[in-house]
Structure 1
């Protein structure tokens, strides 16, 4: 199933748009063997991917702010 939404970073208040493909059960294709097999995260109104996972990492979260938003998404879907 595909889900998308907007998350506000708890530490800075910046808004991020995400798209995530997730399943009922985890698999070896998911992040850390979990349910999320695809994830894209961008700062709202920007086009550069800050996180991109498509059955493997293309762009990993690399700042504390992006990691904070990434963790929220994983708690919800993975």
Structure 2
């Protein structure tokens, strides 16, 4: 199942950075294709028009910044 949305990542100055996400997840985890053996088989993150992470049954672009790492943690918590 595909999901997409936006995550607000808090900034130190009190504002937020907007991270757009696309996730394909399944009901059952996959040791072969899921992130960390989980249910997410595809994931894309974009911030300020730049791809900051991409996973398509393997990492094409590992998380490139703190915002990407935080968004990934949130999505793993929500979908795994």
Output the TM-score relative to the length of structure 1: 0.89
Q: Given that residues 53 and 59 in structure 1 are in contact (C-alpha distance below 8 angstroms), is that contact kept between their aligned partners in structure 2?
A: yes
Q: Radius of gyration: which is bigger?
A: 2
Q: 1:40-59 counterparts in 2 under 5 A?
A: 40-43=44-47, 46=49, 48-59=50-61
Provide the rounded CA distance (Å) in 2 between the counterparts of 1:40 and 1:10: 19
Structure 1 moving runs of 4+ over 6 Å: none
CA RMSD of aligned residues (A): 1.3
Structure 1: stretches of 5+ with no match in the other structure: none
Q: 1:1-78 counterparts in 2 under 5 A?
A: 1-11=1-11, 13-27=16-30, 28-43=32-47, 46=49, 48-78=50-80
* Bigger relative contact order, structure 1 or 2 (CA pairs below 8 A, ≥6 apart): 1
Q: Given that residues 52 and 65 in structure 2 are in contact (C-alpha distance below 8 angstroms), is that contact kept between their aligned partners in structure 1?
A: no
Output the TM-score relative to the length of structure 2: 0.87
- Higher normalized strand content (fraction of residues): 2
Structure 2: stretches of 5+ with no match in the other structure: none
Count of paired positions:
76
**Helix, strand or coil for the counterpart of 1:72?**
helix
